Structure 1
């Protein structure tokens, strides 16, 4: 029950900026550069995210009846795909999971929880309506962990994909809990909201 258009716009922009911003963030936070081509990473993002989306839109437009027939099973296929990615990454890093799994799990939970909370608070500080706050919270707190694991596997060591894989498991649980909580509390309509005094 959030602002879907705002969420989709933010996801699209952040995905397109990722190959350019990610190396700069690593330089600023870790003090070193990434030994990976921004162009190669950008192409990977196109392959993993944008091409399937465009392909899905084209299929829906030109083969609507076919898509309508298989639409009920597509979410299950998506979940199975993520499960396979997570299983492969965790299996390839079993030793690392045994030694640092608890610490990494706590970091993943903290990252997700802070993202959900800070996204909502920024929306509140920016005086967004409740639907906008919810969209911002989900956008900041929930990340494309499948994309993260794919990029890490393609451009770094397999161990780099482990945080994304664990995040995928956790944020599906936390996201479902937050969605259920908000679904039971419809946001106020324009007429129901009190007028916010001008600054």
Structure 2
């Protein structure tokens, strides 16, 4: 178990490098990875099950006790990010599938790796976890409706089918994870350190499968869509922080909302795009899985060197790493 814990910590620490390395291998030698696309939904379910194992009732307490910052953050996430994605897709004149995939990236809930980034950035960790949890629970309703409104002009959107997909790959696995933690708390606590390793492996397999299926598209549109994903992320980080400033929240909350708004659950985006739009639409979400794990640590490192001068700082308790983008 100690060896697995060490490997898990290393996998979490070097997650971005692992994703980039596997993506390059899948690009130049795609054949071994083509068949893995059939397991994307199952793999994401495994990641979400791992998230459920780490959730506690206290993660939702902040939603009820101090709802305003959580509501501001989640509203910014589900309003600003889809609109930014829509405008980028429109003004950059992206092909239909890539445009729909970018809007999908903007419409999915927050990525759980953001919790670790917020901790490292000396942000409000409780707010970050509450935002991730609430946005994930709202996703079955909001994500299909947002896509129907914004992406329908490029590709047909079936909101009912998408609702069922999100329930299947997110809500059910998370619920099972929460229940298992409640029934067998001691066992789950012992295995908690291995959960990030499983999540990292699952995300790496998903990335390799989508890259292998889109070698030609990456060759022709790679720079364009990478630019779109990078701009989407950077604008999200900026607008999330700006929204918190406008609402006069303290610095630790500003950092938490900025990172939460800017980092999406790209794994869910890959699964939904593959199932409902086609493999090319999954490409923005695959690129996001790489880029978010580059921009996030850079911003977290920058903020970690800046004192949180307003409000109360977070408790110095290291979170369980949830490397499920």
Match status 1:160 vs 2:250 = no
Q: 1:8 Cα shift?
A: 4.1
Larger relative contact order (Cα-Cα within 8 Å, sequence gap ≥ 6): 2
Of 139, 142, 159, 1:15 maps to 139
- Does the CA contact (< 8 Å) of 1:15 and 1:45 recur in 2? yes
1:43 aligns with 2:168: no
- Unpaired runs of 5+ in structure 2? 1-121, 314-325
CA shift in 2, pair 1:7/1:25, >3 Å: farther
**Aligned counterparts of 1:5 and 1:22: Cα–Cα separation in 2:** 29
Q: Which residue of 2 aligns with 1:181?
A: 302
Bigger mean CA offset, 13-22 vs 106-115:
13-22
Residue 257 (structure 2) aligned to one of 122, 136, 144:
136
Change (3 A) 1:133 1:21: same
* Residue pair 2:250, 2:310 contacting (<8 A) in 1 also: no
Please tell me whether the aligned partners of residues 237 and 261 of structure 2 are also in contact (alpha carbons under 8 angstroms).
Answer: yes
Number of matched pairs: 188
* Stretches of structure 1 lacking an aligned partner (at least 5 in a row): 193-199
Aligned to 1:72: 193
Aligned equivalents of 2:250 and 2:170: distance in 1? 29
Q: Which residue of 2 aligns with 1:85?
A: 206
Structure 2: how far apart are the matches of 1:181 and 1:93? 34
Which of 74, 91, 103 lines up with 2:224 in the alignment?
103
Q: Which residue of 1 is the match for residue 151 of structure 2? A: 26
- TM-superposed CA distance for 1:183, in Å, is 3.2
1:81 deviates by: 0.8
Stretch deviating more after TM superposition (55-64 or 78-87): 55-64
Q: TM-score, normalized by length of structure 1?
A: 0.85
Q: Structure 2 length as normaliser, TM-score?
A: 0.54
1:10 CA displacement: 3.8
- Name the CA distance, whole Å, in 2 between partners of 1:143 and 1:130: 22
- RMSD of aligned residue pairs (Cα, Å): 2.1
- Distance (Å, rounded) in 2 between the aligned partners of 1:63 and 1:181: 39
1:120 corresponds in structure 2 to 241
